[in-house]
Structures are given as structure tokens and as C-alpha cells.
Chain A
């Protein structure tokens, strides 16, 4: 082994900040530190999302998101590795549409997570037939406006809600969006979705308003989020 000054791998204390991102709320942009413990819990929940999407080892997926959203995507990357699901990534801006286009054309994809409205619009502008283009996929998980647009084009899509830094997933048939209730609580305050942390996290949040209009209902003993 080559001598090194490197502490390999450096293990930070479980609760100490491991990475810092930003979270967008109605009150503005807030720092969003995550501990290793936070990430491990979030990754465990992300595994259940892939299982609900019906994904299995060896099935390639496409993740679309901005660099600043990495704190939200990181658990989903870890979960994919845990399940041996390879992923290929792209940015969510319209400028990067050609990458998503290439990924869908060249790979036998099983799912897309994070399809943004600008990318969807640009794909449609390229003349892609949505039913043909997305038809072979096990799941398309899209931003709310993109999911509505796909539904209108007869392509069933999951809706990806972003409540601050937290992702919630609503199936194509509706019924409200699930989120990780063991870590978070979403309330509707005066018709606006608000986020609180439940567990001890590096960034405790208390009823931070998201700027999203919606309601919360109990469905099958779970809190589900409905966007309005």
C-alpha cells in the first residue's frame, strides 16, 4: 500500500454535520445540514420507495435533479446502491434535455425519477411521442406540473412533491403522497403545507411553511399529502 496522510475513510460522529445543503421554504432559503445518522435513516426509507416502484437489482434508473438538490437525492443514491440498482443522472434544466433524451434512447431504463417540467416540455418540443418514449418504463416520477401534463397525454406518472428538502411520492392513481413519517411530519396550516422534523436531526425544523397549498389526510393509517 502506498503511504498516505489520508485518514481512510474518515468517520465523522454519527450525529455531527456530514454535509450541508439548502432547503427552500416560504420564509426563504435555509441551511440544511445532514448528519451521517440522518442520511442512513433517509436511505432506509428511500429503499421502500424503490420497492413500491417495483424496482429490482440490475434495473437501471435515471435520476434528474440539480446539484443543490443532492442533499435530497443522496439517500436515493445510497438506496439504489444498496439494492444494486444502477443510476444515471442529468440536470433538471431545459439545457440538459439532450442528456435525458440520450439516456432514454440508449439504455433499457426501468424508471425516471425527478422528471422536471422544463425537460418534459423540451422533449415534447423535440417531437418525442410521450406514450412511445415513456411507455416502456416501469415508473415515471415527475414534478407536479409535469405529472399532470403526462397524465393528460395518457402516460401514467407518479407525482414527486418537494416539501422543503423532503420528497413525497403520490402514485399515478392518486390517493395522496407518502413521505417518511418516521422522520418528518407535514401539517396543513391555513391551507399551506408546513414541515416539522420528528426525530433528532442535524437540522431540526418546526412547522416551516413550504409555500405549497395543500391538505393532509389520514389514509390507511398514514398521513398523506394532497397538493391543491
Chain B
């Protein structure tokens, strides 16, 4: 029997408290751990038999699934996996799935992928629940769970989204047919793209259908809306009247853009979304106190990025995840490269899952004169200069240690470039205490290099 039903205070037939989509969201942590352990042990046996990469790594470490009888055993014995290992396996074995695939290829429905900013994209493979595609399900290893963006319906529910609501979906197709996730909630997706031409359509569709959610805004998209407001007099407060939630994704939201959205009447209705270690995405709840890591889907650990040592308890470290339900291409003890701050303190929303805040990517930091700088550290400094207020910039990173802080910063209009440069140098120095070498380029040049919803925040040249 599934511990989530056998040990929850409520019997399986009980009505879930209306604020939560699934009863497991409020499972007391000891019972949540029992559920994790049961799923973990089953997953290890399942994946070891099927995943060539996992078997390869575990055999090299001299570990077998039978050696692991608890989460503590797992933390003590299981070897880590990371993106470099997956890529190496892929290249050595001419296996596009990097040894992760656990199902026969003929059972694959579709393959999505990551943005690919650090090399060939990471693949996310899915098997669909019904052969005609009309049933919006994607079964996982656990009965009753969907393996395709599994926690997103829960998080949308938490934001107040209900069946019949319209949801504007600004999504790249590379991440898979996300609209199918929205349909699981009975919402009606409105499909638009991040293309600047669709910004007008967003305004029109918002007025026509009065959607409940924007899924998801990005820095370049907000910049386009700001231009519509400034140049065409569009009343953004009126456009956003119906929105219960504006989700923000792709990269951190700078303080200026947050002020801008709040000025459009969205105070308390802005929800950050971030990657959850390449196994899902994570969102804030209505308390806006960190991203919820739905731990019935994933075991979460913190790792010291330099030593690889496990960090016990809450704190700051590299996010390491293990999928507990993915039967297609599960990641086991996967070091994500994302630096996070983690807490297991109870959230005021009532959920029992851990929460985290993304600090940056371990691969994004540069060290100059002994000072560590992440893109987030200079974000507000760029936004605070009027002609670069869209916050479109890159940190040049040829290696972790750099002789100087070098940045490429986008500007709008036709400003006095020497003056803009001087303002930026001063603003960045105030923020991080370093005199930056700054290359100025028009916004349009920077927007060409990304997937329209974001730009790479570090560049090798």
C-alpha cells in the first residue's frame, strides 16, 4: 500500500483541503520521508536494471541496489551523476540519451530538451498515457501521478487557478507540449510566443478572454510590454486586471522589473518559476517564500560544489536531486550545478515540502581579485542605469578566475554611449566593488542570441 494514503491523517476517500490539489502536499515530514524511502528503493532497483549509465556508475563505485535499504544508506553509498558524465556516456556509446533511457525506444512519445546554453541540450523524454494524445496524462512509475511537469498542476492550483480559467502560455516548444499540463487542470490554454509581434496579441487576448494566468513572463517580454505602454499608451493595469498569477521564468527577475509589474497592479501575484534540478520545474506558493520542492517526486540533497561532500540539514549548496517517479529517464543523485539555499522549515502555506531559493549556477560565477561575482550580483546595477534598464547583459567568462570583470550590456535608443558606460562602471563598482570593462551593444543584438525569452547570462567571448 502506498504510504501516502496509509499514513496520512485523512483516509483516502477524504476531501482534500481546497487550497491543495493533492493531500500529499501537507503530509507530515516523517511520513513524507517514509514515502520517499519506499519510492527510492523501488526506483533504484528499476533504474539499475534499465539505465546503462546508472549501472556503469554504480558498478564502478562497487555499489548495488541491494546494498541500499534506506535513504541514509543511499546518501552514504550512492555515487553522484552530473551533466558531464551523461555527455561523456552519450559520446562514448553513440547513445543520444546518455545511458539514461529506461524504456524501449519504441515506447517514446516525444522528446523535449533543455535550452542547451552549455553544449548539446539535455533531453527530456516522455511516454504518453493514451495513444491518441487526447488524454492529458503522462503516467509515472507511481499510479495516479503524472510524470510530465508533475508538480505544475499543484502549483497552479495553489495560485488559485481552476477549471475553466484561461491561461496564456508563452512557451517555447522545445520544453514539450506544456499546454497538455494546463489541460490536466481543465484550464483553456491561449498559445502565444515570445516573438515581439505576439506582444500585441497578448494585449488583445488578455482583453478578449480575461485570462487568470500568464505562464510565463520573462525579462525581454516585460521590456516589450513596457515599450507598448510607453510608445502606444497601452494601460497595462487594465490589461492585467483579470490575472490571478503572473509567472516569471527563464532567469531571475531583477528588482526593477518587479517594481514595474507591481506598478501594473500585480503585487502579490508574481510567482517565480525555476528549474528543479532538470527533473521538473518549481514554483513559489502564495506565501512567496521560496520555491516548493515537491519531495514526493524527488529526493533533495545539498552538496558542497567544491568538495562534493554532502551538506546535512538546511543551508547553501549545490542542488542534487533523485527522481522518485520518472520511469522513462530518471536522474539518480544528479548534481544540477544550481546553487541554492534550502530550508525544511514549515511554510506558512501549510505544505510540508522543502523550499529553496536559487543563488546562481556554480558554472556562472567568476572570481576577480578574490571576489566572487554571479550575474545576479550586478543585475540591479545594470537596471539602475536608465538606458540599460531592461537588464539585458552578459558576464564574459573564459574561466572561473578572470583578470577583470568583463560585461556586455544592452542599451535601448541612441544614448550618449560614453556617458552610459561611465554610469555603468560606477553602478557596478557600487554593487560589487570592482571596476568593470564594459562593451555596449544594442538590445536587439543581445536578443538575437537567446531563445527570445532569455539570453545566456555568461558568454565565453
**A contact set with B: CB distance below 8 Å:** 1-10, 12, 17-22, 29, 31, 36, 39-40, 43, 57-58, 60, 63, 65-71, 73-74, 77-78, 80-82, 84, 86-91, 93, 95-96, 98-99, 102, 106-107
Contacts and interface: CB of A to CB of B under 8 A. Distances in A.
Contacts of A102: 116, 120-121
A40 B111 contact: no
B163 A9 contact: no
B153 interface: yes
Interface stretch (B60-68, B168-176, B350-358, B437-445): B168-176
Ordered nearest first, which 8 A-B pairs have the shortest CB separation? A10-B186, A78-B133, A68-B193, A88-B111, A106-B96, A86-B108, A3-B23, A81-B133
Contact of A3 (B22, B137, B186): B22
A43 B134 CA distance: 10
Given A58-B106, A81-B133, A106 B12 contact: no
B22 A20 contact: no
Contacts of A67: 169-173, 191-194
A93 B130 CA distance: 31
Interface in B71-110: 90, 96, 105-106, 108-110
Task: Decide if the interface of chain A is mainly helix, strand, loop or mixed.
Answer: mixed
B199 to A, nearest CB: 11
B232 interface: no
Interface string B439-457: 0000000001111100000
A20 B188 contact: yes
Contacts of A82: 131-133
A17 B193 CA distance: 20
B116 to A, nearest CB: 6
B149 interface: no
Given A5-B21, A66-B193, A82-B132, A87 B111 contact: yes
A2 B144 contact: yes
A77 B110 contact: yes
Q: In the complex, which of the residues B23, B120, B163 has the most CB atoms of chain A within 10 Å of its own CB atom?
A: B120
B215 to A, nearest CB: 11
B14 interface: yes
B314 interface: no
Given A102-B120, A106-B120, 16 more contacts: A1-B12, A2-B23, A4-B16, A8-B137, A9-B184, A17-B188, A19-B189, A20-B190, A67-B191, A67-B192, A77-B133, A81-B128, A81-B130, A89-B111, A89-B112, A89-B174
